[in-house]
Structure 1
């Protein structure tokens, strides 16, 4: 009956592809069918399922999740306040002598707002609505404009301290705990701050290369196609950019907790909206409705994923999956490559949050048994997801950006425009895989590992929140 869990996993993917139902509905429905099948087949009894309330309680007690609705609130405010317009105008004014000024400004705006927006979909929607018309007015071809918007919207996947990194860090902490229990080692467990530090180097490299490619592709353009900002507007744009960089940088280096930074950012955005007169009562009502709807959907996804993983493990499918990962050829390299391929394929169907709460909990523990460098694995996974989100025609960034731009080019034309950016993403991923030290440039000295006799291989009994949550 161990294979039933894999059938459940395939059923979730199939139902999501053909029904269009919300993910949490599919997860709970498949879990109920799986639980009934397990009890009817004598694999487990109903009292075992009573562990679910405790797991859900542990989920909701995690103080890290306090940041989730605040990130969503920031994204909703960014979508309705003229912040992106101000930043785009300021960045274009600073580099106005270059023919690539509109492209560089678009990437700069993406690098600043994508980590605050919460998701690729939110970033693509905001950038497509705000930046695309300005790129078109500057004479940028539609395929190049859409390629830059898609790339900029994926920056939140790798640039700390985005919501994606925040939640993946928590999921990887639990996976790392399970892997250490299985191997009998006691060493420092990965936390969210470790992932932030590990992602800084690759993210900086990716941003630098992206700006270089954008400059090269647009260097022959006509300078001055974007109207420059006046003195007061330019000062405002600089102040906004400085505030965002201070906020994001403070969290990335550990000066601020994610919850504190998200609260500060949401308050500052709301205050700016009130002072500027853009945040009316009607707009505020829309912002709050969107925030509650998205936050509710994410918490429902958490609950559905927790239910699914419990039933999955009760069938012993996690041990079967661990055996499959262990059987992959070429040792740890083959195991990592196999998991990254699965993540890349999943990203063509699922978004980042769905992957974090459905795929990561079942794939990462057995992988971390074979590849113990959890930070390296997590950063490689993030870069893989980012590349998949950018791949036409099914990449999430492409799908979302196409919905909001006025003129969407054909897939073949868009693929040629995206190819340079996709190539540099794969190059950064290859560098990280070849040189793991790139993710350890800023981390503190690690404690030595201690071998514990009698390490347990029974991951089914491992609580999902065994380690102290990271704020």
Structure 2
């Protein structure tokens, strides 16, 4: 049978299963198994068990549950409240004043949580009521949090970077290093937009509060010490070559437990809840990765990735045209799937094409993370939108409209990454040298 017909049949089966509400992991395994049984003579059951076991026992995956557990522990502490109180005196003088606190808080928390959803929930439960109480514009407050919380994907340690690293077989440590400058760039874009918005709409920004003396500001900064120390311990140990991503994750868990202990948040119940929450998320992600690994192997037996890569090669697309097509593909997929599912569903087909085009896999990892960040704030399946909907009582379309300017800023960030790839590659190349 023609490979294009095989690909069409496989795509239809996958879409039917996903539309029927079948779990993503089960869908991936089922499609892989059916593909091998229908279109190859390889021992499907033997290959499935071997691939799933090999994927599940991957050393790189050990960092995943540890970083997830670290985020679960921190979610149950008063860290977000301390960050708000520590940052408030310093941001009050910025154009737009405390509206920037969502961006800075999300950027800081992203550096120790690795999860966009956890960043949204943790920061939002403190900043939304505080900013609304002080008279800040509700739409901008919600939108800035929706956009800024996507930094949980980009600023390391990032769970989705671990997923991409495992799926694409690239260095997770180098991915973490590569995510720093793009993360800073996004924060600058968000804060720049909020500053300009506040100057255009001065009536929507409350009057400046009394100036806080410098000594009082410095004293308030002490509340940032725990999270800054944890950032240095986790990210600093990776950048200085002291620890691998997995070892840094273990350091992060110990640090998070100490913070919870010293802030009085570590109780028997909170400890059990954090372990159960981390276990549920880790099992879900590992299950999806196992299914994706088997599907990738099955696709190799059918010849679809090889033929697709060859077909794309015949189109004569240059690198920019290919990246534009992939950007549109990921944006469309993001309207219906979460970020992790997008990575594992597309890795088997996309990676051969990007390798043939000569695209750096580290750079492409950052590119795909930035594009997938958009999926967090695009309806109808935007995880951050759902979280903010439940927190604010607004419907999902109102939240999506509030987040739309930040979606456009993510598009701008994607364009900048394509035009200036050194934003993602300079730091890992420099540190490696």
Shift of 1:337: 2.3
TM-score by length of 2: 0.87
> Given the superposition, is the C-alpha separation of residues 285 and 197 from structure 1 closer, same or farther in structure 2, using an over 3 Å criterion?
closer
Q: Per the alignment, in what secondary structure is the counterpart of residue 224 of structure 1?
A: coil
| Structure-1 separation of matches of 2:428 and 2:121 | 34
| Structure-2 separation of matches of 1:164 and 1:286 | 23
In structure 1, the residue matched to 2:179 is 199
Shift of 1:110: 0.6
| Structure-2 separation of matches of 1:421 and 1:11 | 35
Q: How does 1:58-73 map to 2 (within 5 A)?
A: 58-73=54-69
In structure 2, the residue matched to 1:182 is none
The answer as to whether partners of 2:178 and 2:366 remain within 8 angstroms in 1 is: yes
In structure 1, the residue matched to 2:405 is 420
In structure 2, the residue matched to 1:184 is none
1:307 to 294, 309, 323: 294
> Given the superposition, is the C-alpha separation of residues 349 and 138 from structure 1 closer, same or farther in structure 2, using an over 3 Å criterion?
same
Q: Deviations over 1:166-223 (max 9, x none)?
A: 33233333xxxxxxxxxxxxxxxx5233333333332222111212222333463222
- The alignment status of 1:217 with 2:194, answered yes or no, reads no
1:51 to 29, 47, 53: 47
Shift of 1:49: 4.3
Q: Per the alignment, in what secondary structure is the counterpart of residue 50 of structure 1?
A: helix
In structure 2, the residue matched to 1:430 is 415
| Structure-2 separation of matches of 1:391 and 1:253 | 37
The answer as to whether partners of 2:70 and 2:253 remain within 8 angstroms in 1 is: yes
Shift of 1:148: 1.1
In structure 1, the residue matched to 2:262 is 275
> Given the superposition, is the C-alpha separation of residues 414 and 61 from structure 1 closer, same or farther in structure 2, using an over 3 Å criterion?
closer
| Structure-2 separation of matches of 1:196 and 1:251 | 8
Q: Deviations over 1:270-310 (max 9, x none)?
A: 12222332221112111111111111111111222122222
> Given the superposition, is the C-alpha separation of residues 79 and 216 from structure 1 closer, same or farther in structure 2, using an over 3 Å criterion?
same
Higher helix share: 2
- The alignment status of 1:132 with 2:134, answered yes or no, reads no
Query: Which deviates more from structure 2 when the two are superposed, residues 95-104 or residues 138-147?
Result: 95-104
The answer as to whether partners of 1:112 and 1:244 remain within 8 angstroms in 2 is: no
Q: Per the alignment, in what secondary structure is the counterpart of residue 440 of structure 1?
A: helix
Q: Per the alignment, in what secondary structure is the counterpart of residue 92 of structure 2?
A: coil
The answer as to whether partners of 1:143 and 1:417 remain within 8 angstroms in 2 is: yes
RMSD: 3.0
> Given the superposition, is the C-alpha separation of residues 296 and 226 from structure 1 closer, same or farther in structure 2, using an over 3 Å criterion?
farther
In structure 2, the residue matched to 1:123 is 119
Query: Which deviates more from structure 2 when the two are superposed, residues 146-155 or residues 370-379?
Result: 370-379
Query: Which deviates more from structure 2 when the two are superposed, residues 288-297 or residues 347-356?
Result: 347-356
| Structure 2 gap segments, 5+ residues each | none
The answer as to whether partners of 1:161 and 1:248 remain within 8 angstroms in 2 is: yes
- The alignment status of 1:88 with 2:73, answered yes or no, reads no
Query: Which deviates more from structure 2 when the two are superposed, residues 269-278 or residues 246-255?
Result: 246-255
In structure 1, the residue matched to 2:334 is 347
In structure 1, the residue matched to 2:229 is 243
Shift of 1:255: 4.3
- The alignment status of 1:106 with 2:102, answered yes or no, reads yes
The answer as to whether partners of 2:189 and 2:409 remain within 8 angstroms in 1 is: yes
1:158 to 154, 157, 160: 154
The answer as to whether partners of 1:25 and 1:304 remain within 8 angstroms in 2 is: yes
| Structure-1 separation of matches of 2:210 and 2:371 | 35
Q: How does 1:167-182 map to 2 (within 5 A)?
A: 167-173=163-169
| Structure-1 separation of matches of 2:139 and 2:231 | 30
| Structure-1 separation of matches of 2:136 and 2:26 | 42
Q: Per the alignment, in what secondary structure is the counterpart of residue 181 of structure 2?
A: helix
> Given the superposition, is the C-alpha separation of residues 254 and 11 from structure 1 closer, same or farther in structure 2, using an over 3 Å criterion?
farther
| Structure 1 gap segments, 5+ residues each | 174-189, 448-471
Shift of 1:394: 4.0
The answer as to whether partners of 1:68 and 1:295 remain within 8 angstroms in 2 is: yes
| Structure-2 separation of matches of 1:311 and 1:226 | 64
In structure 2, the residue matched to 1:143 is 139
Q: How does 1:15-26 map to 2 (within 5 A)?
A: 15-16=17-18, 18-26=19-27
| Structure-1 separation of matches of 2:281 and 2:211 | 34
Shift of 1:87: 0.9
| Structure-1 separation of matches of 2:212 and 2:274 | 30
